[in-house]
Chain A
């Protein structure tokens, strides 16, 4: 079945550094990918919609200069957390759809980011 691979699964970085998270659709092309953030014991909150070949659409309150999204190909979207701070520590999950009639959105396994 269709798989979305997210890498890394966990990362620890120092405050002020940048971290890149990759989301790949392994056996299908995804023109659209979605990035969510989940704080401990909370729900998934949509951060942005990543569109292949164009600018991402950010949700209200999400800083686009801090959370850079690049969707350069039909199988890869990246989320870069720039100048990370401890409050950026969270669980980040991507999802993608393959546009098949009977196939739901596929989720990556998530990335746990800890900023020290």
Chain B
């Protein structure tokens, strides 16, 4: 069975600084997708970034980038130039497909951003 682990329940960062959220996963599949979702207090799930396992290049989306280490089964999220609006719960997630299969979520990391 696939599992997703986030070992940092809480993280904090100063505005404009950089923070990295950790995520590890376990799977026997060779092809899969990894995601980072943001959940603000409104509890709406917002897709931050995705990574296809078959792609070696790390995904980037503006201030958000990932460090995908397939052999180590590690998938960390780096937020650069942190903004107050980045404060939220962040969930790492795994799926066997991009949009047709279930998501398996990690336990989440609460990110606080200080001015």
Q: Which residues of A contact B (CB under 8 A)?
A: 32, 34, 38, 42-46, 49, 91, 93, 95, 97-101, 103-105, 107, 109-110
Contact = CB atoms under 8 A, between A and B. Distances in A.
B98 A104 contact: yes
Contacts, number: 48
A98 B104 CA distance: 19
A46 B104 contact: yes
A32 to B, nearest CB: 6
B103 A95 contact: yes
| Contact-size category for B | 10 to 19
Nearest to B108: A43
Contact of B44 (A38, A103, A107): A107
A100 B98 CA distance: 9
Contacts of A110: 43-44
A98 B105 contact: no
23 contacts: A32-B100, A42-B107, A43-B105, A43-B106, A43-B107, A44-B45, A44-B91, A45-B105, A46-B103, A46-B104, A49-B102, A95-B45, A95-B103, A97-B100, A99-B99, A99-B100, A100-B99, A103-B99, A104-B47, A104-B99, A105-B103, A109-B42, A109-B44
Given A95-B45, A98-B99, A99-B99, 6 more contacts: A34-B102, A43-B91, A43-B106, A44-B105, A104-B50, A109-B44
